[in-house]
A and B are shown apart, each in its own frame.
Chain A
């Protein structure tokens, strides 16, 4: 027997966590137990093992943290991966009927491209209807039962008419509720007119994501209003006003080397407004890029996360687990822009050579091949990375060989350490 190649070991002061990313299984052992098991796996001599160690080994074997020597895990994983993709019943669509935005964030991935593009400001109503028809038919054809629709942009609130038309058309097509549709509004939260939000809620948009990047003095320097105005106070007010109306609310925090030191301060502000009672924190690292010096993918940033995750738990927040996942290989994963162009990823929007079809001519190349690089197939983090973001590698200066392994290690360790050791240390308030 041996450790699975997909197991990563996180050592803490007096314990060890063993994590298998492809099954999301996590086990914690006292450090001495871990050492005893390690010795057993090296020499195979079980005669002197205690009953409790034998039980631990059995549990780890049952959960495939320990596996037989002759098993070809990479081959099994690849087969399982393809099977899962073929049998998946979930699809995701990013619907972006306009790229107009009321913010000009310093790190916006599409900002520069969109500002220079001769784009349709809004989607024509015929294209909206074609989009709904296209999405519905493709979903049914692929046998998808659960569909996530992300109202995206630009800023989706500025394209409210198109969103309403799209949802109504989807509801009409899905009159027999053959497909379970879940709508999420991904907004910057700067403009949230009550009648608009209520209309979206009435239409079944009950998931909300809003972004805050730090306390006001940080956030306002990054997520700037289109006319240069400050946005933090208004967004926070909207969160307090509307969060309880939605079923699920995610506060996304984009973190990099320039704002990482202020995240605990933001957590305090959110806690003071009791947003911990209903909101989930999603801490996201800003991708390295060719258009901005800021990046979250460095030790300078990730070293803070032991403290940030622990502080968030200490303040009673639910925290989304660390993932650096690409979903391009799901059963259906696509983005639609204001011209009805279809892409395999929202980050490709407005890159002409990445258009794979158009909703109006119903031509769509949906043959997504198994794209996991061979070097990733046997990686212990493949379950939380899925090969990572190809767009980032292609469009930035990090290069196609860029690997997330070190960041995945640090972030996963910080996340699990905070989540399961949250009562073992005192915090300074």
Chain B
């Protein structure tokens, strides 16, 4: 999953600032050169990740800026969400099927 998140970021950064994949490194920060996207673009990027990976990213994570930290954070949220969805399915079976 981490690779998928990284690819998503790579694609978005390419369309936002024109950086090619070989120019993007895991220790780069979104608000520092050579990326340097605006805070509005950062918020929008997070919103697109939320939609694409079906996770809710809390606002306090908006200050996570380094690419490797973002990948890890989204990956952790996805894992948590899988457990959460499983719980909902179990409850659904209990409430409606039995």
* Residue in B closest to A1 when the chains form the complex, CB atoms: B95
Let me know if A49 is at the binding interface, CB within 8 A.
yes
Assuming the contacts A318-B62, A419-B59, asked whether A58 and B39 have C-beta atoms less than 8 A apart, the reply is no
Verify B88–A46 contact, CB threshold 8 A. no
Q: Whole-angstrom distance from the CB of B84 to the nearest CB of chain A?
A: 9
Mark A5-48 against chain B: 1 for CB-CB distance below 8 A, else 0: 00000000000000000000000000000000000000000100
Query: Which residues of chain A have C-beta atoms less than 8 A from B87's C-beta?
Result: 62
Mark A317-336 against chain B: 1 for CB-CB distance below 8 A, else 0: 11000000000000000000
Query: Which residues of chain B have C-beta atoms less than 8 A from A157's C-beta?
Result: none
Query: Which residues of chain B have C-beta atoms less than 8 A from A57's C-beta?
Result: 92, 95
Let me know if A422 is at the binding interface, CB within 8 A.
yes
Verify B88–A316 contact, CB threshold 8 A. no
Query: Which residues of chain B have C-beta atoms less than 8 A from A354's C-beta?
Result: none
Question: Interface size for chain A: under 10, 10 to 19, 20 to 34, or 35 or more residues?
Answer: 20 to 34
Q: Whole-angstrom distance from the CB of B11 to the nearest CB of chain A?
A: 18
Assuming the contacts A277-B31, A316-B39, asked whether A423 and B88 have C-beta atoms less than 8 A apart, the reply is no
Verify B39–A276 contact, CB threshold 8 A. yes
Q: Whole-angstrom distance from the CB of A45 to the nearest CB of chain B?
A: 11
* Residue in A closest to B40 when the chains form the complex, CB atoms: A316
* Residue in B closest to A313 when the chains form the complex, CB atoms: B43
Q: Whole-angstrom distance from the CB of B25 to the nearest CB of chain A?
A: 22
Query: Which residues of chain B have C-beta atoms less than 8 A from A61's C-beta?
Result: 91, 95
Mark B11-53 against chain A: 1 for CB-CB distance below 8 A, else 0: 0000000000000000000010000001110111001000000
The A contact surface, by secondary structure, is helix
Let me know if A55 is at the binding interface, CB within 8 A.
yes
Assuming the contacts A62-B87, A419-B59, asked whether A316 and B42 have C-beta atoms less than 8 A apart, the reply is yes
Query: Which residues of chain A have C-beta atoms less than 8 A from B89's C-beta?
Result: 55, 58
A59 to B56 alpha-carbon distance, docked (Å): 15
Mark A417-429 against chain B: 1 for CB-CB distance below 8 A, else 0: 0010011000000
* Residue in A closest to B48 when the chains form the complex, CB atoms: A423
Verify A54–B92 contact, CB threshold 8 A. yes
Verify B91–A58 contact, CB threshold 8 A. yes
Q: Whole-angstrom distance from the CB of A184 to the nearest CB of chain B?
A: 17
A283 to B43 alpha-carbon distance, docked (Å): 20
Verify A62–B31 contact, CB threshold 8 A. no
Verify B88–A62 contact, CB threshold 8 A. yes
Verify B43–A55 contact, CB threshold 8 A. no
Let me know if A314 is at the binding interface, CB within 8 A.
yes
Verify A314–B88 contact, CB threshold 8 A. no
* Residue in B closest to A423 when the chains form the complex, CB atoms: B47
Query: Which residues of chain B have C-beta atoms less than 8 A from A64's C-beta?
Result: none
Query: Which residues of chain B have C-beta atoms less than 8 A from A317's C-beta?
Result: 39
Let me know if A315 is at the binding interface, CB within 8 A.
yes
* Residue in B closest to A57 when the chains form the complex, CB atoms: B95
Which residue of B44, B47, B92 is within 8 Å of A58 (Cβ)?
B92
Verify B96–A46 contact, CB threshold 8 A. yes
Query: Which residues of chain B have C-beta atoms less than 8 A from A318's C-beta?
Result: 59, 62
A423 to B51 alpha-carbon distance, docked (Å): 12
Mark A58-74 against chain B: 1 for CB-CB distance below 8 A, else 0: 11011000000000000
Verify B31–A58 contact, CB threshold 8 A. no
Query: Which residues of chain B have C-beta atoms less than 8 A from A423's C-beta?
Result: 44, 47
Query: Which residues of chain B have C-beta atoms less than 8 A from A55's C-beta?
Result: 88-89, 92
Verify A54–B43 contact, CB threshold 8 A. no
A49 to B38 alpha-carbon distance, docked (Å): 44
Query: Which residues of chain A have C-beta atoms less than 8 A from B88's C-beta?
Result: 55, 58-59, 62
The A263-283 residues at the B interface (CB cut-off 8 A) are 276-277
Could you list 7 A-B pairs, sorted by A, with CB under 8 Å?
A46-B95, A55-B92, A58-B89, A58-B91, A61-B91, A277-B31, A316-B40
Report, nearest first, the 6 A-B pairs whose CB atoms are least far apart: A316-B39, A58-B92, A58-B91, A316-B40, A59-B88, A54-B96
By a beta-carbon cutoff of 8 Å, the part of chain A in contact with chain B is 46, 49, 54-55, 57-59, 61-62, 276-277, 313-318, 419, 422-423
By a beta-carbon cutoff of 8 Å, the part of chain B in contact with chain A is 31, 38-40, 42-44, 47, 59, 62, 87-89, 91-92, 95-96
